[in-house]
A and B are shown apart, each in its own frame.
Chain A
Amino acid sequence: MIVGGCDLGSTTGKAAIMIDDKIYCGDIIPATTKPALTATMAMDSALKKAGLKSIDEIEYIIGTGYGRQKVPFASEDISEISCHGKGAYWALQSVRTIIDIGGQDCKAIAISDKGVVTQFEMNERCAAGTGRFFQVMAKVLTCGLEGIGSVSNISDNPVSISNQCSVFAESEVITLINDEKSIPDIITGINQSVAKRVVSLVRRVGIHDDVTLTGGCSKNLGLKKALENLLGTTIKPLPVDPQSIGAIGAAVFAKEKLLAKRAKELEVSSKE
């Protein structure tokens, strides 16, 4: 059985293909101005990784993410919240709390021991606590996103960033640079400020072990460390790319849907 999932996020496109129970994730594709094109590029990359020649070989595809309705080859779409729950559970069955920090939003998702989403919270409207916040900061610090996420930048003497609004925080950081504060101190301060914001969201759904981190920002090790300190627990790594979890969850859903469809068809034909 070959199924697929495509997660069209606000800043990147991801696709995953499942052949029997094995997952093949494509490269993370930066979003283009045409959602359908981003989806196709992401799926082409996954096809290559899975060693498939054409998308026609995939029997069922689910679209997810901010642009889920724009995935041209999807049979149906499911919200990214459900897909992140499904994908994380598929990757690690002990997961109960998922923190997904994407380019434009941040979500805390609680799942049951059966992998079903029971509760979720999402950041309200602004960029605080999302990838966008890091992008703005990386630009001011001219260090790139990798710089902000790097472990070598973790300091014992972080500055405190009080503004949650990315625009105001940007001027706060400029002031800190002019005050000649060290870059690791500033970066650690930025990660802690985002972590605080994210943790208050997680508290609303409850912190239940195991906790895992998904989405683009899961690759930021400084943020991960700051989150662990505030949550008082370790964040469990996933055995697959955490940025592709939405696409993986969509593929798992596609498999379930296809199985249900086949069972129904079988029922109808046996009645006939």
Chain B
Amino acid sequence: MESIKSSDVFKKFSGIATSLKNSEIENWKKQGGKVIGYFCPVIPEEVFIAGGILPFRMRGTGSTTTDSADVYLKPVNCGFPRHTFNQALIGEYDFLDGLVVNTCCDTIMRLAVDWEHAGIKTPFIYSLDNAHAGGEAMVGHFRNQLQKMKDAVEKYFNVEITEQKLQDAIKLCNETKLLQQKLYELRKLPNPPITGSETVAVMVAGSSMPKEQYNKDLKTLLDELGNVNTDKKYSARLMIIGCGHDDTLLCDIIEELGAVVVTDQTCFGSRVMIKTISEEGDDPLMSIAGYLVLDVPYCPKTIGTHPERKQFTMGLAKDYKVDGAVGQCFISCDPWAAELYLLKSEFQEAGIPFIWFEREYIPDLIGQLKTRVEAFIETINN
């Protein structure tokens, strides 16, 4: 096989990642299933799955304008929530039965209020208070917040989320994480059989359809990747770093220029699958809380956690033998702008070329982005 692009499973993943509605969700709904939208990987999908509800990771895919959202939000809010909210306002999220936001950045936090205020008919809306700081002490606090969210889901959807169901959901999602880890392992090869763009599609699909089917499909894809021709030589191995990286734009630009993206530190990529949740212990909510507070690399908005994230990011750069790193953040996103600013000098100190820029969620100035990335690759190859 010349490229994984010709695989039917890949085409399915790619179709799911580039739209909001998909046939998997349609079938789920036809059978009476409920769907909850959630904004960030720190909101554990395991709790919804344990309640028999399909979790869908929110994104603004397909949006072309923020006309409707701008009535409620301001340009100071980054494009990711604005486009996502706009999609909801024009009915693209009608399939949602619930929405969970968290204390991510201020915009996401406030979105629950805007959602209700704008009269979007999503019957269940919940705000989860996640850990603002790192360390053991936060685990118990976050576990209690998860308990409250679980109770609210049980009450509203009239379901019972038992410990056994939570354990089963953890197992199912761990299987996803392990399969995704295998996929990332292949990217460590000198000539990876899967590109960065293709990986984004696979990862985004993972939070947009039922897990059982996704795991089955991903197993097939991993088998197929064994048959992909890996003769192709790339001019540089790059990693990407940044916020809700749910489109392939940056990877496409990099890969059209002859380089390849081999890993990432993004919230749709490595941050969702780098470790698994403990299947031991008799308090699954505590296991989930422990995983999200201590195991997953801290999110940039968690106070005082940059050193740990630096270590994680540098570790990825080393493991995947990257020649350079490209950071992107959406205009007006302070958590990531500050993060990338710090990482720039840290990468340079480590002798790894680094570039970062701000972009719109739905980008406008692609020509300028291309020039920067092209010059960056030229700099590496010099």
Contact = CB atoms under 8 A, between A and B. Distances in A.
A79 B371 contact: yes
A105 B365 CA distance: 12
A118 B379 CA distance: 7
A117 B372 CA distance: 12
B368 interface: yes
A200 B372 CA distance: 18
Interface residues of B, number: 14
A122 B371 contact: yes
Contacts of B368: 105, 122, 125
Contacts of A81: 371-372, 375, 378
A125 B368 CA distance: 8
B342 to A, nearest CB: 14
Contacts of A120: 372, 375, 379
A125 B375 CA distance: 17
Interface residues of A, number: 15
B75 interface: no
B371 A66 contact: yes
A66 B365 CA distance: 12
Contact of B382 (A105, A116, A124): A116
Contacts of A82: 375, 378-379, 382
B379 A66 contact: no
Interface in A200-215: none
Given A122-B372, A124-B358, A79 B378 contact: yes
Identify which of B331, B358, B372, B382 gathers the most chain A CB atoms within 10 Å of its CB: B382
B378 A117 contact: yes
Nearest to B363: A125
Interface string A113-134: 0001111101011000000000
Nearest to B348: A119
Contacts of A79: 371, 374-375, 378
Nearest to A10: B367
Interface in B327-382: 331, 357-358, 364-365, 367-368, 371-372, 374-375, 378-379, 382
A74 interface: no
A122 B372 CA distance: 8
Nearest to B367: A66
Interface string A70-106: 0000000011111000000000000000000000010
Given A124-B357, A124-B358, A125-B365, A117 B371 contact: no
B256 to A, nearest CB: 11
B374 A117 contact: no
A119 B382 CA distance: 12
A125 B372 CA distance: 12
Contacts of B379: 82, 116-120
B357 A78 contact: no
B259 to A, nearest CB: 13
A78 B370 CA distance: 11
B378 A78 contact: yes
Nearest to A117: B379
A119 B364 CA distance: 24
Contacts of A124: 331, 357-358
Contacts of A78: 378
Nearest to B365: A125
Nearest to B382: A116
A43 B374 CA distance: 24
Nearest to B344: A204
Contacts of A66: 367, 371
Contacts of B382: 82, 116-117
A79 B377 CA distance: 10
Nearest to A126: B365
A214 B203 CA distance: 44
Most chain B CB neighbours (cut-off 10 Å) among A78, A119, A125: A125
B236 to A, nearest CB: 14
A168 to B, nearest CB: 14
A119 B368 CA distance: 16
B337 to A, nearest CB: 11
Contacts of B358: 124-125
A82 B368 CA distance: 14
Interface string B290-320: 0000000000000000000000000000000
Nearest to A204: B344
A122 B367 CA distance: 12
Which of B358, B372, B375, B382 has its CB near the most chain A CB atoms (within 10 A)?
B375
A65 to B, nearest CB: 9
A73 B368 CA distance: 23
A59 B377 CA distance: 26
A117 B375 contact: yes
A253 to B, nearest CB: 10
B221 to A, nearest CB: 33
B238 to A, nearest CB: 16
Contacts of B371: 66, 79-81, 122
Contacts of A117: 375, 378-379, 382
A90 B371 CA distance: 22
A166 to B, nearest CB: 16
Interface of B: 331, 357-358, 364-365, 367-368, 371-372, 374-375, 378-379, 382
CB-based closest 5 A-B pairs: A81-B375, A79-B375, A79-B374, A82-B378, A116-B382
27 contacts: A66-B371, A78-B378, A79-B371, A79-B374, A79-B375, A80-B371, A80-B375, A81-B371, A81-B375, A81-B378, A82-B379, A105-B368, A116-B379, A116-B382, A117-B375, A117-B378, A117-B379, A118-B379, A119-B379, A120-B379, A122-B357, A122-B368, A122-B372, A124-B357, A124-B358, A125-B358, A125-B368
Given A79-B378, A119-B379, 7 more contacts: A66-B367, A79-B375, A81-B375, A105-B368, A116-B379, A122-B371, A124-B358
